[in-house]
Amino acid sequence: MSPLARCARATKRFGHVTAVSEVDLVVEPGEIVGLLGANGAGKTTLIRMLLGLIPATDGEVALFGEPPSRRTRRRLGYVPQGLGLYDDLTAAENMEFTAAIFGPGSGPDATELPGEIRPYARELIGSLPLGVQRRVAFAQALSHQPDLLMLDEPTSGVDPLGRARLWETIADAADAGVGVLVTTHYMEEAQECGRLVIMADGRVVAEGTAAGIAGSRQVVVVEAESWSEAFGALERSGLQVALAGRGLRVPGAEPADVRRALGDLPAVVRQAPATLEERFFELSQQATAPGAAA
């Protein structure tokens, strides 16, 4: 049985700029694949290639075992960063429009809004809070019972409770056998994915579970009498440092380098397991460092 989505050495160039470079990716039924990367990493370009909106320059891109086309898009549910809703239509009218586009057989409740947003059915989309808009976009993407969901930053700008509700919807869809490819900037959301693919500078730099990617990597922890002085000293040395409580965490550095940067400042320097966010940062820095492509 073919994967729902597959990329094999997929590459996209715009003139002399390579936005996506030799990416391999697979999404199977019932799994949630998280696509992580900083702005400009190539995530949205890759999704647009999978949707068939732009062609691959090299490599292979397939949906449901064939090249992306109007036919394959009928089996997709898509929530873009801009939501894809019409601001001058009501929530109900947006649902009716989608049902008309997909036609007969698009689902028994193709025009139905979920209960919690039904009170907004006759409100113009442009007048609704962003969290409600995103719920409508999710309902629209699921209304024709797709086999694959593609979600590009689906919870951006939504409050924590709204994000939790949207992730419940994603999990419910996956439990029903729908494959999900989702991009996110939130590391806590990445924990909800069964598998992660991390991109940097257009390339895949890591793939696996959240625990597997973090692995046994260590981060340097600094406990100083004056965290502000220690922070300044580390920053002036060119080290990346983050405040965690009243301590400091320095990813991608060696304890000796940190100790040297602190100079005579009183501090305890030790190592601790790295978080997924710190590992993500380290991978991104390595990929964009001079000479990384070579």
- Please give the CATH architecture assigned to the domain spanning 218-273: 2-Layer Sandwich (3.30)
Q: Among residues 186, 156, 190, which one has the least CA distance to residue 80?
A: 156
**What does the pLDDT read at residue 37?**
84
pTM of the model: 0.80
Q: What is the domain partition of the chain in residue ranges?
A: 5-212, 218-273
Q: How far apart are CA 154 and CA 81, in angstroms?
A: 6
Question: 6 pLDDT band (50/70/90 cuts)?
Answer: very high
pLDDT exceeds 70 at position 210: yes
Q: How far apart are CA 141 and CA 170, in angstroms?
A: 11
pLDDT exceeds 50 at position 294: no
CB 284 within 8 A of CB 203: no
Q: How far apart are CA 268 and CA 155, in angstroms?
A: 39
**What does the pLDDT read at residue 252?**
77
CATH C-level class of 5-212: alpha beta
Instruction: Give the best-scoring range by mean pLDDT among 86-90, 178-182, 187-191, 248-252.
Output: 178-182
For 151-172, the pLDDT digits (tens) are: 988 877 777 887 888 888 889 9
**What does the pLDDT read at residue 197?**
92
